[in-house]
């Protein structure tokens, strides 16, 4: 379990990781006072469950992935929890047939008391690319065609920015916020991506250069939403991977269940940014401004404040404050180690503070060894007071 719990309407919800190992994903509901297990909602549909016809006959759904390893969001007025699901298992879809495989790479709206799925939206049916939809689900109220709508937004790993009506799951917008080669667009009538010719090539075991790369157009570093301007702020990625599927072998518990290989493209332009810190319009997916990240992408989440500042961190250790209107860096502080965490803001005795953790681990540790040289690994907590 890599996910923080979420408490919604008196129920504690937890998820699970492990889609690369052929698990069957689920979300659990617990009584927070006693620890009693209340319900389990599997995220691959089995026999007798809604969506079972999107899996072939047999046991493919039992190893179908759809892990739930990033915390969902809760709307107490609608009493709905929104939770995303991860990639399918295996990445090679051959055992899963030419079917949608619900609920992999999907956004689920769930009743916290029962685990009932009220509505769902699948971003990548049949998912042969490792396109998670488990990233953070941002709740906001924005104007759509001049009318105020309660929406849930996601900057998906597959490169599309989705805006859904969070009351009923109706798709309001799905536009690319990064370079995409695997699909041409999303059909707004069906809600389905229209795959490019790469979809046929990859299923024929051919090499393709896919945009976004295997780590996606945005990874787990959370985006932020400013309700005053209606803008999203995110650290995005701009990189391709050369990718192909491999023949599937029988499932073995505890071993990776993927069957693909990937490598970096040759002759990547030296001046091509690895990503951007950017302000994005949710309905158009167009950037208001972009800060190119020339060395490597940011793995820190983004925090937007009512004072018009955007905070995030760099792998080289700088913690920065950016003007939300222009993208100009206004302040920075060297923490001594890479920042790949979530900044938070809080108040005490009328004073506002910003806190961030510094210190590489996991993927950051790998990046550090490969690219960052001697940046220290040690962890530390930094707190800054906002001056009057």
Active site residues: 130
Residue with tokens 């599937």: 248
Q: How buried is residue 383: exposed, middle or buried, by Cβ count under 10 Å (0-12/13-18/19+)?
A: exposed
DSSP 255: S
| Two tokens, residue 288 | 């208001």
Asked whether the beta carbons of 203 and 129 are under 8 A apart, the reply is no
Rounded CA separation 274/292 (Å): 8
Torsion angle, CA of 218/223/228/229, rounded to 10 degrees? Answer: -20
Asked whether the beta carbons of 314 and 364 are under 8 A apart, the reply is no
Q: Give which of 121, 166, 167, 168 is closest to 139, Cα–Cα.
A: 166
Rg (CA), the chain: 21
Rounded CA separation 225/41 (Å): 29
| Two tokens, residue 153 | 């937004």
| Two tokens, residue 343 | 């900044």
3-class secondary structure, 311: strand
CA quadruple 248, 253, 258, 259: dihedral positive or negative?
A: negative
| Two tokens, residue 11 | 């129920």
Q: Give which of 53, 85, 50, 81 is closest to 66, Cα–Cα.
A: 85
């Amino acid at each position: 379990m890599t996910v923080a719990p979420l408490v919604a309407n008196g129920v504690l919800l937890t998820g699970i990781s492990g889609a690369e190992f052929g698990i069957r994903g689920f979300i659990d509901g617990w009584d927070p006072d006693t620890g009693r297990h209340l319900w389990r909602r599997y995220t691959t549909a089995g026999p007798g469950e809604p969506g079972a016809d999107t899996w072939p006959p047999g046991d493919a759904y039992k190893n179908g992935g759809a892990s739930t390893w990033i915390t969902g969001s809760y709307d107490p007025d609608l009493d709905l929890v929104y939770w995303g699901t991860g990639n399918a298992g295996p990445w090679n879809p051959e055992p899963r047939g030419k079917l949608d495989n619900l609920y992999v790479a999907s956004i689920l709206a769930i009743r916290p008391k029962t685990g009932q799925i009220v509505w769902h939206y699948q971003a990548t049916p049949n998912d042969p690319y490792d396109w998670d939809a488990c990233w953070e689900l941002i709740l906001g109220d924005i104007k759509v065609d001049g009318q105020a709508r309660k929406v849930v937004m996601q900057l998906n790993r597959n490169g599309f920015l989705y805006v859904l009506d969070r009351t009923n799951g109706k798709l309001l917008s799905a536009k690319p916020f990064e370079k995409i080669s695997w699909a041409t667009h999303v059909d707004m009538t069906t809600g389905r991506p229209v795959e490019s010719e790469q979809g046929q090539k990859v299923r024929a075991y051919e090499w393709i250069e896919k945009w976004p790369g295997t780590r996606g157009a945005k990874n787990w570093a959370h985006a932020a939403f400013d309700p005053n301007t209606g803008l999203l702020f995110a650290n995005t990625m701009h990189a391709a991977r050369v990718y192909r599927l491999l023949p599937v072998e029988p499932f073995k518990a505890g071993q990776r269940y993927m069957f693909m290989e990937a490598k970096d493209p040759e002759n990547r332009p030296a001046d091509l940014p690895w990503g951007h810190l950017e302000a994005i319009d949710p309905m158009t997916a167009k950037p208001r401004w972009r800060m190119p990240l020339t060395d490597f992408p940011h793995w820190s989440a983004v925090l937007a404040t009512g004072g018009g500042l955007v905070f995030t961190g760099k792998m080289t250790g700088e913690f920065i404050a950016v003007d939300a209107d222009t993208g100009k860096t206004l302040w920075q502080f060297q923490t001594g180690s890479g920042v790949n965490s979530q900044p938070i803001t809080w108040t005490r005795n009328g004073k506002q503070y910003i806190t961030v953790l510094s210190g590489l681990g996991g993927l950051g540790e790998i990046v550090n060894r490969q690219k960052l040289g001697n940046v220290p690994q040690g962890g530390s907590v930094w707190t800054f007071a906002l001056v009057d």
